[in-house]
Structure 1
């Protein structure tokens, strides 16, 4: 009888846990030449966020996950992942997921893809990454205080990162949520033999937009692994994730 009661109790706890899960996300965190130390750090932080905010997560560095059923995920996140690593079949699976109402969140290195490699994805990002100066401390200004990715941030946020430079070859309309103040760092400070220029006053570093019925949140921030322990940065990511997965939180 005792074993039966324990089994029933375990079943009830499992049911309660499942009932408390609001949605499920897929996080693809693949290593690249300059981005690999972040993977275990980010995983631990996202697992804590999942427990705190009651969402379920598949966290993997294996692109084979795209061979499975993507429709179970409220959002797919490319976390510092080189998107060109996906083969043609997996790219098609992701495109079909988005065309059928899926949602995407793209973080830092995931914004970069070689030209003419995957045009559909570059349009999904909404901007093309040209280059970036050396990592420097700068000030990110909140542009949209009504978007969840800015709720945990000050109006002027001191942050150190690679301030990506963008252009807009496809004329995609985006809604910036953070701009970087180029007077707070040197946009021309780059390695010998390379040239970097700023973008001026209009220099977004995080934004959102819609592709058909799908939600897309983008942040260029997140170069260093230690950033994935920072409460303000995690609040930025969580706000973007919440909106991406549910469409809620924006005013």
Structure 2
């Protein structure tokens, strides 16, 4: 808990520095258009993608917003992309863009002040593209095996944390990232201080015995919200996790 307290104090002081930048607004979802992007490049593909898409389709019906999903990156090089208010990188992984036109489409979408959500392995997407790594906030490095641990709220004012208990026990892959963008606003951290927590690779001590797991940012004109949670298919039917996602989506949609 001492390490967590230090993280909270650091984040609170950083938040004060960026007081004019950060807000906790939550946009109305009704009438919005969301693109759920699911493409995976060569390599590991999670088995949760269908559950991820189904969750957003259910949310679209519940909150009266439109949801389209695609694994075809060609849309990023067309004007069709700009009909959407937000893009969800739904467990995308590895190289997902085919050319510079597709990449430029994403950059321009973001610069128009629109929203980007990244879920779980989205932080392992396009690891050789510097702009994307800065936008998504960090690059996947490794994770210990799937197991239970606590996720601790360090910023309970954000919509994605409003329904989450201060200490949230999850069964999850605890993601360790590198090349983290120092401008992000950390909202939750994963705590690996338990003596029962198992790992083989040495865990970093950058933040003591915790590591950022959820953050948001306003980078290059747009709003981004990223959660490293969401490994299991069952997560996308869990009420707490769904509330977490809804809050993140509402935040990035604020104009």
Q: TM bucket by the smaller chain?
A: 0.7 to 0.9
Structure 1: 5+ residue stretches without partners? 1-19
- Distance in 2, matches of 1:104 and 1:38, equals 19
| Aligned positions, number | 222
What TM-score do the two structures reach when normalised by structure 2?
A: 0.79
More helix by share: 1
Aligned match for 1:214, one of 194, 201, 222: 222
Structure 2: 5+ residue stretches without partners? 1-28
Residue 82 of structure 1 aligns to a residue whose secondary structure is coil
- The aligned residue for residue 139 of structure 2 is 128
Aligned match for 1:101, one of 94, 107, 113: 113
After the TM superposition, which residues 26-175 of structure 1 pair with which residues of structure 2 at under 5 Å, given as runs?
26-31=35-40, 33-68=43-78, 69-82=80-93, 84-88=95-99, 89-113=101-125, 115=127, 117-168=128-179, 171-175=181-185
Deviation string, structure 1 residues 140-173 (Cα, Å, up to 9, x no partner): 011111101111211110101111112336x531
In structure 2, relative to structure 1, the CA distance for the partners of 1:76 and 1:185 (3 Å cut) is farther
Instruction: Indicate if the aligned counterparts of 1:152 and 1:236 stay in contact, CA closer than 8 A.
Output: yes
Alpha-carbon distance, 1:233 to partner:
0.8
Aligned match for 2:199, one of 189, 199, 214: 189
Aligned match for 1:231, one of 239, 243, 251: 239
In structure 2, relative to structure 1, the CA distance for the partners of 1:185 and 1:42 (3 Å cut) is farther
Say which structure, 1 or 2, has more relative contact order (CA 8 Å, 6+ apart).
2
Alpha-carbon distance, 1:185 to partner:
6.7
What TM-score do the two structures reach when normalised by structure 1?
A: 0.80
In structure 2, relative to structure 1, the CA distance for the partners of 1:99 and 1:83 (3 Å cut) is farther
RMSD: 2.1
Matched, 1:23 2:8: no
Alpha-carbon distance, 1:107 to partner:
1.0
